[in-house]
Amino acid sequence: MKVSYHGHSVVKIGTDSHTILIDPFISGNELTDLKAENEKPDVILLSHGHNDHVGDTVELAKRNDALVVAPFELATYLSWQGVNTHPLHIGGGYDFDFGRVKLTQAFHGSSYETDDQQIIYTGMPAGILLTVEGKTIYHAGDTGLFSDMKLIGMRNTIDLAFLPIGDNFTMGPDDAALAAEFINAKTVVPVHYNTFPPIKQDPEKFVSMLKGQEGKVMHPGDVIEL
């Protein structure tokens, strides 16, 4: 299995049978190496409804007949756009043909902003636990630090975790380093930084702060094999 990072919070997982995209913010993402027209996901996983995470989901899902797995309200909204969705909610999981997806808590917001300046509520934000081919990947989505991350680490053997470090909208490096300790993942990758001026951070400094976990700074296009 190949796991690649593509700027902001975009993660791609390639298994023997499926291509899975998490939070595919491609168009308008100056840090990504992807082009939306070239992507052919079978599955899209969404953590919450903000535009910089939903991104190109509707276009990608329709063009590729991809399944979109998202929190209930966001999945419902996207289904109204003609997208094939499977709704989940926090604490709930489901065994798909590509692997198991379970949603965790995340402390953030979740809404979709329309072109005519309307805000559509899209339910609770979430983190994503993806278990596939015997490995577990944790994508924390956008979140602040919370103590129940310890439970996520206690109840799951996490091989690879993607944690936001940008501050301002999510955890900053100090809190993210403690989150890494709580979840006890084998490898931790910082995400959600440097895309916009308010979230400028030094990912190498964050990695140096980790205690007991391997940290890896992934640049857009970098791949980890699990």
Mean pLDDT of 50-55: 97
pLDDT for 114 equals 85
Q: Which helix (H) or strand (E) is 75 found in, with range?
A: helix 72-79
Per-residue tokens: 192: 């959600």
pLDDT for 91 equals 98
pLDDT band for position 135 (50/70/90)? very high
pLDDT for 139 equals 99
Phi-psi region of 142 (alpha: psi -120 to 50; beta: other; left: phi over 0): beta
Q: Is the dihedral of CA 152, 179, 166, 36 positive or negative?
A: negative
Mean pLDDT of 127-145: 98
pLDDT for 212 equals 85
Mean pLDDT of 86-98: 98
- Side-chain-side CA neighbours of residue 77 (13 Å): 22
Q: What percent of the chain has a predicted confidence (pLDDT) above 90?
A: 97
pLDDT tens-place string over residues 25-39:
999 999 999 999 999
- Residues 125 and 109: their CA atoms lie apart, in Å, by 6
Q: What percent of the chain has a predicted confidence (pLDDT) above 70?
A: 100
Using the 8-state DSSP alphabet, how is residue 15 labeled? -
pLDDT for 113 equals 86
**Helix count (H) and strand count (E) of the chain?**
6, 16
Tell me the CA distances in angstroms from 12 to 1, 100, 167, one per residue in order.
10, 16, 24
HEC assignment per residue over 51-68: HHHHCCHHHHHHHHCCEE
Q: Which domains does the chain have, with CATH numbers?
A: 2-218 (3.60.15.10)
Average pLDDT, the chain: 97
Neighbours of 37 (CB within 10 A): 12
pLDDT tens-place string over residues 159-192:
999 999 999 999 999 999 999 999 999 999 999 9
What pTM was computed for the model?
Answer: 0.97
- Residues 201 and 212: their CA atoms lie apart, in Å, by 22
